């Protein structure tokens, strides 16, 4: 079992990094968290068959986290998928996502495999799903006016991994990550950045959340393209606030669970 980043950039991709999404690969199934461009190709490059996909979780509906969903559904349909696919999201995001799929006529297409819409309640520690490999829970985070979800993957007998999604420093994320082995936290900016756009975190703030949560390892993702050439500086910034292991997320590399 492993997880892999399909993208690690902020809202704008670069030559080095695509927009942020990741996949958790279990014994018999996989779970995609957010959906950027060319999702089927990215899943294959990450070492997992798209047919194994059991669930897609859309943390929020900013374009960089959801724009690849029609491509994924279209590709799976053309690959003759018949099994249902679960789609988890905040309750208020189900209709906009349906509308996005509707633009391409995917919901009415004859022979379309079932899409199971499963809203995630907006409360701390809300249950998302239980599978043979994972127990997934969620908490709201702090992404400005955009409702959003942080996620915790409990791995049977193997610890847990928490993903902050896009967020400012959040007490709810720190609580969700408490006692986890790994925290994947956004680090859109450096604390030295002259401009901060939107409700995001610096690498130093990510380090502070990791320290508060008491995790073993912090992985930084969702980095603004302005910092793609200096990612080790972001890691050092996080290390100034967190004594554990700090890593920069690398795309299409398996991280064993």
The answer, yes or no, to whether residue 195 has pLDDT greater than 90, is no
- Residue 189 — very low, low, confident or very high, per pLDDT cuts 50/70/90? confident
Q: Are 147 and 43 in contact (CB under 8 A)?
A: no
For residue range 22-67, what is the model confidence (pLDDT) as tens digits?
Answer: 999 999 999 999 999 999 999 999 999 999 999 999 999 999 999 9
The phi-psi region of residue 252 (left if phi > 0; otherwise alpha if psi is between -120 and 50; otherwise beta) is left
Cα-trace Rg, the chain = 17
Beta-strand relationship, 217-221 and 182-186: parallel
Could you tell me the CA-to-CA distances from 77 to 101, 102, 107, 149 in Å, in that order? 13, 15, 11, 28
How far, in Å, CA of 174 to CA of 157, rounded?
22
Q: Provide the percentage of residues in the chain whose pLDDT is more than 70.
A: 98
Choices 3.60.15.10, 3.30.420.40, 3.40.50.12280, 3.40.50.2030: CATH for 2-256: 3.60.15.10
For residue range 93-144, what is the model confidence (pLDDT) as tens digits?
Answer: 999 999 999 999 999 999 999 999 999 999 999 999 999 899 999 999 989 8
Domain boundaries, the chain: 2-256
For residue range 130-164, what is the model confidence (pLDDT) as tens digits?
Answer: 998 999 999 999 898 999 999 999 997 789 999 99
Q: Are 184 and 161 in contact (CB under 8 A)?
A: yes
Looking at residue 146, its pLDDT comes to: 92
Looking at residue 243, its pLDDT comes to: 98
Looking at residue 225, its pLDDT comes to: 87
Q: What is the mean pLDDT of residues 155-176?
A: 93
| Burial call 102-119: b when 16+ CB within 10 Å, e when fewer | eeeebeeeeebeebeeee
Beta-strand relationship, 2-7 and 21-25: antiparallel
Q: What is the mean pLDDT of residues 222-236?
A: 90
Q: Are 8 and 255 in contact (CB under 8 A)?
A: no
Find, among 137, 173, 176, 1, the residue nearest to 57 by Cα.
137
Looking at residue 194, its pLDDT comes to: 54
Find, among 10, 70, 76, the residue nearest to 35 by Cα.
70
Q: Are 137 and 149 in contact (CB under 8 A)?
A: no
Looking at residue 197, its pLDDT comes to: 61
For residue range 211-225, what is the model confidence (pLDDT) as tens digits?
Answer: 999 999 999 999 998
Looking at residue 196, its pLDDT comes to: 64
Looking at residue 210, its pLDDT comes to: 99
């Amino acid at each position: 079992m492993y997880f892999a980043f399909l993208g690690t950039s902020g809202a704008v991709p670069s030559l080095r990094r695509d927009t942020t999404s990741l996949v958790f690969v279990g014994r018999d199934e996989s779970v995609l968290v957010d959906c950027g461009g060319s999702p089927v190709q990215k899943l294959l490059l990450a070492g997992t068959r798209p047919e194994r996909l059991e669930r897609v979780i859309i943390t929020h509906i900013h374009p960089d986290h959801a724009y690849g969903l029609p491509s994924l559904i279209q590709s799976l349909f053309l690959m003759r998928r018949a099994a249902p696919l679960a789609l988890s999201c905040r309750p208020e995001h189900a209709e906009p996502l349906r509308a996005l799929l509707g633009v391409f006529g995917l919901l009415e297409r004859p022979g379309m495999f079932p899409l199971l819409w499963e809203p995630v309640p907006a409360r701390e520690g809300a249950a998302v799903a239980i599978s043979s490999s994972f127990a997934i829970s969620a908490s709201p985070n702090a992404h400005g006016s955009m409702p959003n979800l942080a996620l915790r993957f409990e791995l049977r007998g193997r610890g847990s991994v928490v993903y902050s999604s896009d967020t400012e420093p959040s007490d709810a994320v720190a609580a969700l990550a408490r006692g986890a082995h790994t925290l994947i936290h956004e680090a859109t900016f450096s604390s030295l950045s002259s401009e901060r756009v939107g409700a995001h975190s610096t690498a130093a703030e990510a380090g502070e959340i990791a320290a508060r949560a008491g995790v073993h390892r912090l992985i930084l993702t969702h980095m603004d393209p302005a910092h793609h050439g200096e990612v080790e500086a972001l890691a050092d910034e996080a290390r100034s606030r967190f004594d554990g292991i700090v890593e920069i997320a690398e795309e299409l590399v398996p991280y064993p669970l």
